[in-house]
Structure 1
């Protein structure tokens, strides 16, 4: 993860990717409420900036994090976080299943998880095959979004939304990236599943929980007074107001 963070900061391609992921996270976390939100990894970049939860924390292996830790072993109490953000945490770990298990553990019921990852079915994935996996970001895992959603479902993390970004070919030079940025608008409309990066939003569902609704009962109508004119089975009802003589 540290090598990936250095690549984001030092390369023009990394800056291109960072801008698009920032837009995604700003939108995804804006309407999440609660008491505690944590971003794990890439703590130099504030992906919680647009969230209004009062307490934000930043954890990860970087020296600038509030809490130095591994994403696979989070030092937070179970059911203690309302929002957890994992930028590429599954890409740069040897234990992706454990990272998701930890995410499920620390989230409160109905807590939200937001993550990003590299898409192997893209021009970025092809570049990874051609260049090899020695350097960041190509050394990442590159899981398909369908695979991540399957893992989430097994852990009671229900995917609720997704997004795709970074359609330009992964050129290292900024002038070439600028020439091909038209593919971002075309790709979003024409081939969204071939983006270089995907984002997934999920909610932790708690089995056995159900929402208890108030047992509202309709008010009973006034009984009225029994007056002559009916029979025993069908008496006539007349209100008290009708009994008052009018002068």
Structure 2
């Protein structure tokens, strides 16, 4: 997918998020992100993409930023974008951000690997990233694949959907270990609120009986830096060296007595 195609896909996502299925998905992701971000501490947090959801609403960090590829004025149920950027070239200093949230950014990027590399670069050691994605191994994903063989499209147009195992592999290659993962939105690919409501029981049943088949997933990972270790305080070294002075003093006294 070229850059123009990517822009069209993001526009398609914006429209899809206003449909009953999009509202249903946003409600689940908002609840999930609120639970995850409330317990992450630090100073600087950035949400990249998808202003239709407030991924940092529950975060207690003092500096929170919403960034996207294009400026958007504040509208009803949507916040204004604070910073415009290219997903593949983040304008932040290396090791300066405590938390980055990517809600459905990688599916619509022309180079998702580079986006993740940039996220790894700007995160501090032990910094965290949270990623939301569509699950190809789901009823929604199956419907999305069928569009290529003549079926109708349900999800907005993307180059490809990234499975959770594949996403975890990408993160692992960048020394970012997944710590939590969740699936949600188990209802079939229904376009109307009426039918989504009828299948509401599947959210409880799905999380119990077929937990990996939710329409969307959320992955949380921590940036690990190899070779890092805590250094003890300087006084501990002085304490350790003190006993070696005693024998020297005793030896001097023995020479004087002799």
Change in Cα spacing, 1:135 to 1:20, as seen in structure 2 (3 Å) is closer
Give the aligned partner of residue 173 of structure 2. Answer: 154
- Tell me, in whole angstroms, the C-alpha distance in 2 between the residues paired with 1:21 and 1:62: 23
- Tell me, in whole angstroms, the C-alpha distance in 2 between the residues paired with 1:54 and 1:83: 12
1:31-86 deviation per Cα after TM superposition (whole angstroms, max 9, x unaligned): 11111100000123211000000000011124222111122211111111000000
Change in Cα spacing, 1:198 to 1:181, as seen in structure 2 (3 Å) is same
Change in Cα spacing, 1:88 to 1:51, as seen in structure 2 (3 Å) is same
Q: Indicate which of 95, 118, 125 corresponds to 1:109.
A: 125
Contact 2:143 2:154 in 1 (8 A): no
Give the aligned partner of residue 212 of structure 2. Answer: 193
> Where does 1:139-218 land on structure 2 (aligned, <5 Å)?
139=158, 141-212=160-231
Larger Rg: 1
- Tell me, in whole angstroms, the C-alpha distance in 1 between the residues paired with 2:36 and 2:159: 23
1:212, distance to aligned residue in structure 2 (A): 3.4
Give the aligned partner of residue 104 of structure 2. Answer: 88
> Where does 1:128-139 land on structure 2 (aligned, <5 Å)?
128-132=144-148, 136-139=155-158
- Tell me, in whole angstroms, the C-alpha distance in 2 between the residues paired with 1:76 and 1:109: 15
- Tell me, in whole angstroms, the C-alpha distance in 1 between the residues paired with 2:157 and 2:38: 30
TM-score by length of 2: 0.79
Give the aligned partner of residue 237 of structure 1. Answer: none
Does residue 16 of the first structure (1) align with residue 3 of the second (2)?
no
Q: Indicate which of 2, 25, 32 corresponds to 2:11.
A: 2
Aligned length: 217
Give the aligned partner of residue 74 of structure 1. Answer: 90
Stretches of structure 2 lacking an aligned partner (at least 5 in a row): 1-9, 73-80, 240-258
Does residue 26 of the first structure (1) align with residue 31 of the second (2)?
no
TM-score by length of 1: 0.83
